[in-house]
Amino acid sequence: MNKTLKVLLTSAALTFTAGSAFATECIAPANPGGGWDFTCRQIGKILFDIGLVSDPVQVTNMAGAGGGLAFAHVVNERNTDEDLIVAASSATTTRLAQNAFGGMTADQVRFVGAIGADPGVIVVAADSPFQTLTDLVEAIKADPGSVAFAGGSAAGGFDHMKPLQVLKAAGFSDITSVKYIGVDGGADAITQTIGGFTQAMTGDMSEIVGFINSGEVRALAVLTEERVPGFDQIPTAIEQGYDVVAVNWRGLYVPKGISDEAFNAWGEKLAAVAASAEWQEAMAANGLAPFTKVGGDFQSWIDQVVADTVELSKEIGVIQ
């Protein structure tokens, strides 16, 4: 663990070891507002509202090190706490795969489930010559320098990984030749593409909804297992022959040291939240698509995602 995390963790331990009247705690590894806070507060509220926990869920905001402070706290201080859940997303696993948490690794916790996601998308300007994802892929194969992607994450981040996964699935191995420009958020990435500065944009569905509705962009693919309700005109990458699922999932991890029974019980509770009318309403209000994987199935999926991210990150030089 690096020195900064050690200092932060010592402070956190002093702050959060006091007794609580709440039976279940959900740590949001960020300040109030934003995705992780939303995950804890919505899931926590629904767990109580539908009777899956006997007391209201305590939400603890533990910002620091991009999620690393909370991760270290769980691993080092709460490894056997069966009443602790922690909000997580694709950013969590990407950072772990790229060693952003000071040497800590994804296998030091157990990923219990995801119950919603912001789907990954690849879009082009409305006047782009690329009509399908295959058109784009074939253009890159023929001349990698002819296509540049804009995305809202830095080089090596989750947006950068999306088109690289598609190209790998297409049998294209020279991914270091693929041009990617990281800008400050999805809106800027779309502006770059509409303006012709880049040929495609890689991001999340929530970032493109307004531009789709205005007709300024055309989505070549959504990176989900099935088409997204309300956007049924956008084909998946899978149905176009590219076996890629890349979504910014919203879910939870739990301490590694809890029993299998406790892990499975959390998976069942999360599945019940996913099936509830309350969660359907929360997804609709916040632009999330259905994405339910829980228990062992989710952990196996995460293991593969982390392995793929490590491989891609090494290929493009983000990690050694």
- The Cα–Cα gap between 276 and 6 comes to 40
Question: Are 197 and 109 in contact, with CB atoms under 8 Å apart?
Answer: no
- The Cα–Cα gap between 276 and 263 comes to 20
pLDDT value of residue 114: 97
- The Cα–Cα gap between 21 and 51 comes to 17
CA-derived radius of gyration, the chain:
20
CA 258, 262, 264, 269 dihedral sign is: negative
Reduced DSSP (H G I as helix, E B as strand, rest coil) percent helix, strand, coil of the chain, to 5: 45, 20, 35
Give the start-to-end residue ranges of the domains of the chain: 3-117+248-315, 118-240
- The pLDDT tens digits along the chain (320 residues) read 555 555 455 444 433 433 444 689 999 999 998 889 999 999 999 999 999 999 999 999 999 999 999 999 999 999 999 999 999 999 999 999 999 999 999 999 999 999 999 999 999 999 999 999 999 999 999 999 999 999 988 889 899 999 999 999 999 999 999 999 998 888 899 999 999 999 999 999 988 888 998 999 999 999 999 898 888 999 999 999 999 999 999 999 999 999 999 999 999 999 999 999 999 999 988 878 889 999 999 999 999 999 999 999 999 999 98
Spell out where 130-271 has E strands. 148-151, 179-182, 200-204, 217-222, 247-255
- For domain 3-117+248-315, which architecture applies? 3-Layer(aba) Sandwich (3.40)
Share the mean pLDDT of the chain.
91
- The Cα–Cα gap between 81 and 60 comes to 15
118-240 and 3-117+248-315 share a CATH fold:
yes
Give 196's DSSP letter.
Answer: T
Question: Are 36 and 95 in contact, with CB atoms under 8 Å apart?
Answer: no
pLDDT tens digit string along 177-217? 999 999 888 889 999 999 999 999 999 998 888 899 899 99
pLDDT value of residue 206: 85
CATH topology for the 118-240 domain? D-Maltodextrin-Binding Protein; domain 2 (3.40.190)
pLDDT value of residue 287: 76
Q: Hey, what amino acid is at 7?
A: V
Please give the structure tokens belonging to residue 13.
């331990």
Helices marked H in 133-234: 133-142, 158-169, 186-194, 205-214
Question: Are 159 and 201 in contact, with CB atoms under 8 Å apart?
Answer: no
**Which of 201, 66, 185 lies closest to 120 in space, CA to CA?**
201
Question: Are 25 and 85 in contact, with CB atoms under 8 Å apart?
Answer: yes
Which are the contacts of 232, defined by CB distance < 8 A and separation ≥ 6? Answer: none
CA dihedral in degrees (54, 57, 58, 64; nearest 10)? 150
pLDDT value of residue 286: 82
- Residue showing tokens 């259905």: 290
pLDDT tens digit string along 116-126? 999 999 999 99
**Which of 194, 195, 196, 213 lies closest to 205 in space, CA to CA?**
213
Helices marked H in 50-112: 68-77, 90-97
- How many C-beta atoms lie closer than 10 Å to residue 15's C-beta? 11
pLDDT value of residue 77: 97
CA 163, 166, 167, 173 dihedral sign is: positive
pLDDT value of residue 154: 84
- How many C-beta atoms lie closer than 10 Å to residue 260's C-beta? 10
pLDDT value of residue 2: 56
